[in-house]
Amino acid sequence: MIKNGRLLFLLLFVLFVFNLGANETKDGYIKMTIDEKTGRYSLFFLSDPANTEYSQLFYGKSNTSFLDINVNGVYYRLGSSGVFKTRIDMENEEPVVVYESSFLTVKESFTPVKTTSSPTANGIRITIKITNKSDEEPDVGLRMLLDTTLGEGRKKIPFVTENINIINEKIIEGSSDEKYWISRGKDIALMGSIADPLDVTAKRPDFLHFANWKKLSDVPWKASYHEGRSFNNLPYSIGDSAVSYYWEPCFLELGGTLTYTVYLTTEDTAWYYPELYARPEKPVYSEPEIIPEVAVYEPEKRYDFIALIEKEAGELSLETNEDFNVVVLRLLQNYLNRFIAGEIILNEDDITQIDFTIEKYREIQEKTQ
């Protein structure tokens, strides 16, 4: 006969094993699930708080997004390699994925973050620490592959940065002026860091490779680069986007640790320019605040001219009783017409934002008719 204490232990053990499939955490607008067997994760955003509905920002299936470790030219895919064992720990009430071998410990921790324009957590900081356990001093490199999906819609612009629309295969050096990339979906966007928005001294990736997912996934380390090639890999995958971060192999001393950081959040470019959006704690205005002229948009000042257009549309809608969506569409079209006529200056990113917003309000108008 099994004693009561032993029976209770067995029941708890069975319940624990039964729930091993996924580790779920929530904070603010963010929900994250971690696969207990592989350590790979999925990220969701609370898009409809009233109904507690989440939208997918990033879906880390069991074999589509992962970390690769390069140790003296030998490659290990974490979560799949039998050399590294996987477990989930908790540190400071936050989940940590630990990949353990006889010679390295790799810890991947996830911390909720709140960007400048968000009232609560709207993303995560991923911190990866690689510690040398061996009695040798190897060269160790890291690759992080993200299988993105949001930018694969009908707009056919898988990624944008501050200065580039990435519609074909592209490599961006970590030393470039780019600070982030964005994958925009219909209603939501995923923003990933190139520069660390909170620490200017943090090590940047050596480069990021934007390409077809299968092309990046099928190699153990670096894929061949063909600038301008499409995101297709015929006949296997069509328009399948992905981005791969690379930190080249470097010397890891005895007992030493290498640390790398990546941020994944919803879109908020203001977070990467704190000097332009800094506000005094107690602002004092001798005169009413003057909204800058919208007609000539100056990228270096980072004005959110779409928000200003929506504000103007709201005021006109109240005055004229016109449908708000119709007014927004008319104002946006006026901006494009004036740009074509050479009356105002818009850069490529401005035009993309206008195009994206026009499509958004057209769909809203169609649904309300």
DSSP per-residue letters across 112-173? EE--TT-SS--EEEEEEEEEE-SSS--EEEEEEEE---GGGSTT---EE-SS-EE-S-EEEE
Polymer length of the chain: 369
214 and 120 together in one domain? yes
Q: What is the per-residue pLDDT for 62?
A: 62
259 and 132 together in one domain? yes
pLDDT, tens only, 105-115: 999 999 999 99
Q: Is the model's pTM score more than 0.75?
A: no
300 and 256 together in one domain? no
Q: How many domains does the chain have?
A: 2
CA dihedral 141, 100, 198, 186 (to 10 degrees): 90
Q: How far apart are the first and last CA of the chain?
A: 71
171 and 245 together in one domain? yes
Residue type at 88 in one-letter notation: I
**Strand order through the sheet with 22-27:** 22-27, 30-35, 41-48, 53-58
C-beta of residue 49 within 8 angstroms of C-beta of residue 133: no
| Residue 13 belongs to some domain of the structure | no
What whole-number distance in Å separates Cα of residue 330 and Cα of residue 189? Answer: 25
131 and 227 together in one domain? yes
C-beta of residue 280 within 8 angstroms of C-beta of residue 179: no
**3-state class (DSSP) for residue 66:** strand
293 and 232 together in one domain? no
| Residue 281 belongs to some domain of the structure | no
Residues of the chain with pLDDT under 70: 1-22, 60-62, 153-156, 235, 277-305, 367-369
C-beta of residue 58 within 8 angstroms of C-beta of residue 42: yes
What whole-number distance in Å separates Cα of residue 303 and Cα of residue 14? Answer: 56
Nearest to 297 by CA among 309, 289, 313: 309
pLDDT, tens only, 177-214: 999 999 998 889 999 999 999 998 999 999 999 999 99
| Residue 7 belongs to some domain of the structure | no
Q: What is the per-residue pLDDT for 63?
A: 77
Q: What is the per-residue pLDDT for 301?
A: 40
Element (H, E) at 241: strand 241-251
219 and 239 together in one domain? yes
70 and 189 together in one domain? yes
For residue 216, what is the domain's CATH number?
A: 2.70.98.40
Q: Which of the listed residues 248, 275, 302 is the one where a domain comes to its end?
A: 275
C-beta of residue 30 within 8 angstroms of C-beta of residue 121: yes
145 and 40 together in one domain? yes
What whole-number distance in Å separates Cα of residue 60 and Cα of residue 147? Answer: 7
Look-up of token digits 């963010």 = 30
Question: Please, is 321 exposed, middle or buried when counting C-beta atoms within 10 Å of its C-beta (0-12, 13-18, 19+)?
Answer: exposed
203 and 63 together in one domain? yes
Structural domain boundaries enclosing 177: 18-275
177 and 258 together in one domain? yes
Q: Which of the listed residues 250, 275, 300 is the one where a domain comes to its end?
A: 275
**3-state class (DSSP) for residue 12:** helix
| Alpha-helical segments (H) within the chain | 4-18, 213-217, 274-277, 305-320, 324-340, 348-368
| Residue 12 belongs to some domain of the structure | no
